[in-house]
Structure 1
Amino acid sequence: MSRRASGFTKLLAVVWLAGGCGGASAGSGPEPYDWRLPAGFPTPRVPADNPMTEAKVALGRRLFYDVRLSQNGTQSCGSCHEQARAFTDGLVAPVGSTGQQHRRNSQGLANVVYATSFTWANPTLTSLESQALVPLFGKEPVELGFGDRQDELLERLRSDPELVAAFAKAFPEAPEPVSVATLARALASFQRSLISGNAPFDRYVYGNDASALSREARRGMELFFSERLECDHCHSGFNFQDATVHEATSEPILPFHNTGLYNEDGQGTYPAEDPGLIELTGRAEDMGRFRAPSLRNVAVTGPYMHDGSLETLSDVLDHYAAGGHARLVRGGEASPLQSGFVRGFTLTAQEKEDVLAFLESLTDTAFLTDPRFSDPFATP
């Protein structure tokens, strides 16, 4: 795991050892953040050295959409994470600020505060603070493009008096308000605020609104949670994601799954350009394993899978109904490495439409348009 991750070792140390810049002292300082949690949602777990405050979230939002965070000033975090698409980009694979196409599909950020790990297949990225360093300074692939030029980025931010004042307000105890550590913590705070829980499903289940789901969606919900389809084994709980953590959980879990998407040699081998978790662990059993994303707002986050190879939700259902892509390509031959829950099923045309209707019911349109999460630099 070292070659891809080693470039961030010193930066991670900067973020985690810069203690004391997380928040306010008791009785004074920035106003604590008001979560306004949806019904049925537990209180998120937040790092002790980066408590949520209104000032940090506001600063993080501003930085998230600031193109100065890309070395050539062409992109922001929001370029690959668009609010209207539940913070995805609609592309098979994103394109970085230098024009380099990435190998993995952009994941959504809805309810990312509850996730136990970040990116598709990296068990070492377990905090949003450390993850923020990847697009900023990563070289494989180039995203925002600062690489080893951290000082150049900080000088750029420090040259803006208004932005410096916002950093000082968010981090009043930091000896140097504008730093890699405070930048990462502000971005992480904004991302933690991106909570989605007002979909028709939520109004039906938590709001006791019997009219919130159509008859088709209710039938689809029964199928989704049935042992026949097995969907909820990897997409479980209030966030439809097995890797979920909050204040009431004890030990966070870090599951990764092989869905049988590829089986190039009959032994379960994935394409060399992206073999999954095995790339970092070196363990043969981790071939083709990736993190299961949350299904919140899934109807607007296509294309799907780690490489964006399935265009529609209908294609995704076909993939699982066939017991994995290998069954379609290799005439019924399942990968020996795929999850035991990917075993195939049969749906009538109506049942398939019902499941799709249920997945559509996870779309929170208020979240997709909430001004609290929008681009502050956008012209009306």
Structure 2
Amino acid sequence: MNKLIWLGLLVFSIPLIYLATTLSQPEPKSDYRWPLAQGFPKPQVPESNPMSQAKVELGRYLFYDKALSANQTQSCASCHIQSLAFSEAKPVSVGSTGEFHRRNSPGLINIAYNKTLTWAHDGLTDIEQQLLLPIFGENPIELGAIGHEDEILARLQRSPYPELFKQAFPNTKSEVDFVQVTQALSSFVRSLLSLNSPFDRYAYQGQDEALNTQELAGMDLFFSERLECHHCHGGFNFTQSTSHEKQPLDKRPFHNTGLYYTERPSLASTSGTMTQNLGYPEKDRGLAEITINPMDDGRFRAPSLRNIALTAPYMHDGSVVTLEEVLEIYAAGGRNITDGDYQGDGRLNPLKSPFIKGFTLTDKEKEQLLAFLHSLTDEEFINNPAFSDPWLDTK
């Protein structure tokens, strides 16, 4: 089946399966207290799934439970590891059946503030909707729940689930279903806030000593017009793709960063012969696959840079191994691949963002910029017991 067709069917038809159930389950008003420092805005939450501590705790159990996959070999946490800011140290993810995916597993950092989700889809705006992809997706298979729904739900009858579901959904008399599963998982993912890095303590908590001289110099470089990093990675969440109670406007930024400019087969010409054109590899053309707009070729969502030092390898396909290499690519104004697959000079890509124009850094400045990026690491976040595997306490 055409990739665009199955993706559209999955994203937009599966929610309809559970729509009646969702509408029939009134939820109490939120009793959840966001752990936010003064001045930080609250994330926006769907009215149909208000936050509650009980739902967050249920979601934590589900997030770490391999019983949620058809063959019981993987959980959400298999590809989203807390010590790595809920990313994984692989170029691309591998599903529960051993199938290699085409994209890198992004860190789950302040996802509650993201208005668009995944690497390149401007129609995925709710976590409840996005979660259907890893649970039910068939191309590629991740958890592989399609056709195994009843047996997976049956596994959720074991302790401590009956009490957890009862506390999370006190007004629901029906049996456990995937609406409750996705709502609880969404609540847990929304709770994964990272706002206590050294940079935060310096910028928002008034601790001038939180950043040293080298990190401060790197911060100045980051926010300079000379490097222009902040145009795509701006705001308190270090990404343009941010929305909250005080900023409902969604800019939906997707950028072509000149990572590729390679030959690929084009549609047959009028003479019936295949011609070649240039752009991002056919295996993943980014937003263009969703919008069918050639101008969106190679455009991907700018991720948050929070905890960026922990989430290697980088880019949508995990093809850049280190932060140093990332800086070198941006300094060059794109990536020039001279051998192997996908040869071509991304610096010449005509659809490249105007902010990727290249710059010069001295060795000292490079060290300063890297030091600043490391200052975005939140040790409290990656060690927070509220985000950890609850099943370890039961073994």
- TM-score scaled by length of structure 1: 0.94
1:22 and 1:318, CA in 2 relative to 1: closer, same or farther beyond 3 A? farther
> Is residue 162 of structure 1 aligned with residue 176 of structure 2?
no
Gaps of 5+ in 2: 264-275
* Cα-to-partner distance string for 1:318-366 (whole Å, 9 max, x where unaligned): 0100001148765685200110100000000000000000000000000
Distance in structure 2 (CA, Å) of the matches to 1:48 and 1:103: 34
Would the aligned equivalents of 2:145 and 2:152 in 1 still touch at CA under 8 Å?
A: yes
Alignment of 1:155-304 (within 5 A): 155-157=154-156, 159-160=157-158, 162-265=160-263, 268-304=278-314
Deviation, 1:378, is 2.1
Gaps of 5+ in 1: 26-30
Would the aligned equivalents of 2:66 and 2:74 in 1 still touch at CA under 8 Å?
A: yes
Q: Which residue of 2 aligns with 1:61?
A: 60
Distance in structure 2 (CA, Å) of the matches to 1:305 and 1:112: 18
Would the aligned equivalents of 1:240 and 1:294 in 2 still touch at CA under 8 Å?
A: yes
Runs of 4+ residues deviating >6 angstroms: none
Amino acid at match of 1:54: Q
Amino acid at match of 1:11: I
Q: Which residue of 2 aligns with 1:7?
A: 10
Q: Which residue of 2 aligns with 1:28?
A: none
The RMSD of aligned alpha carbons is 1.9
1:342 alignment partner, one of 342, 356, 381 = 356
1:47 alignment partner, SS class: coil
Would the aligned equivalents of 1:112 and 1:192 in 2 still touch at CA under 8 Å?
A: yes
1:234 and 1:307, CA in 2 relative to 1: closer, same or farther beyond 3 A? same
Distance in structure 2 (CA, Å) of the matches to 1:115 and 1:39: 20
The worse-fitting range, judged by mean Cα deviation, of 116-125 and 343-352 is: 116-125
Would the aligned equivalents of 1:91 and 1:308 in 2 still touch at CA under 8 Å?
A: yes
Deviation, 1:175, is 3.6
Amino acid at match of 1:10: S
Q: Which residue of 2 aligns with 1:51?
A: 50
Amino acid at match of 2:134: P
2:392 alignment partner, SS class: coil
Q: Which residue of 2 aligns with 1:370?
A: 384
Q: Which residue of 1 aligns with 2:271?
A: none
1:256 and 1:128, CA in 2 relative to 1: closer, same or farther beyond 3 A? same
2:133 alignment partner, SS class: helix
Would the aligned equivalents of 1:137 and 1:148 in 2 still touch at CA under 8 Å?
A: no
1:378 alignment partner, SS class: helix
Distance in structure 1 (CA, Å) of the matches to 2:378 and 2:137: 32
1:102 alignment partner, SS class: coil
Would the aligned equivalents of 1:83 and 1:374 in 2 still touch at CA under 8 Å?
A: yes
- How many residue pairs get aligned? The number is 374
Q: Which residue of 2 aligns with 1:310?
A: 320
Deviation, 1:211, is 1.0
* Cα-to-partner distance string for 1:28-58 (whole Å, 9 max, x where unaligned): xxx7112111344211111111111010000
Q: Which residue of 1 aligns with 2:269?
A: none
Distance in structure 2 (CA, Å) of the matches to 1:161 and 1:327: 53
Percent identity of paired positions between Structure 1 and Structure 2: 49
2:131 alignment partner, SS class: helix
2:332 alignment partner, one of 298, 322, 325 = 322
Would the aligned equivalents of 2:55 and 2:187 in 1 still touch at CA under 8 Å?
A: yes
Amino acid at match of 1:33: Y
2:301 alignment partner, SS class: coil
